[in-house]
Structure 1
Amino acid sequence: MSKKIKFKLIHNCVQKETIGLILFECNKNMPTIFYWNFAAHVYSYLVIRTIKMKDMDVRLSSFQKKKMHSRIRTLEDAEKDLRNDIQKLELRQTSDESIMCILNQYWNRVCF
């Protein structure tokens, strides 16, 4: 009879040297971290000291919070850049409209 193992994805590693997955086995007796390195096709695991699942969830949520905070910062920077571009384009539009108005006045003087 085979035992079904449930895993939680902790971190998806995408770095220069390694591309892999870190999985956490949801076993209350002995938590185990498994790591699969896709580049080297190496499968390894670490048996870590017994930690309460609550502590592991706290660590995981703090890591996710840091990642989300960095994503929010990058999105805010991108939004700021786009707002600056919009302001530049609005200024350019007003200057182009004023030039067109002047050209229209001269054209009306010449034609009529």
Structure 2
Amino acid sequence: ATAAVEPEEQHQMFNIYIKRAAEIYGVTHTRAIYQKAIEVLPDEHARDMCLRFADMESKLGEIDRARAIYSYCSQICDPRVTAHFWQTWKEFEIRHGNEDTIREMLRIKRSVQATYNTQ
């Protein structure tokens, strides 16, 4: 269904798909849908899906999964433009991480910043 709609309607279709799958099969069955959405949607919508996906995983107690999603998404998040993403990840690490995980998040942020500075 998500492939059969116009590209500008895909984000909305994925939202409906995720909602219905969660209602019928449970939230854990939405993982594959989130992964597909992140893969095919434009960066702007993929960022939104990543944040929602990571939030779902942290609510399920899957902290390592959520951290991996943040790390993956960071590669499409220029710190100069997507401050909300970086603030959300920082708050996540303050709640669920430790000094090492916060340091790693900051290292990734610097690395991504350097990548965007050279483009």
Taking structure 2 as the reference length, the TM-score comes to: 0.25
Question: Which structure would you say has the larger RCO, counting Cα contacts within 8 Å and 6 or more residues apart?
Answer: 2
Output the TM-score relative to the length of structure 1.
Answer: 0.26
Structure (1 or 2) with the greater helix fraction = 2
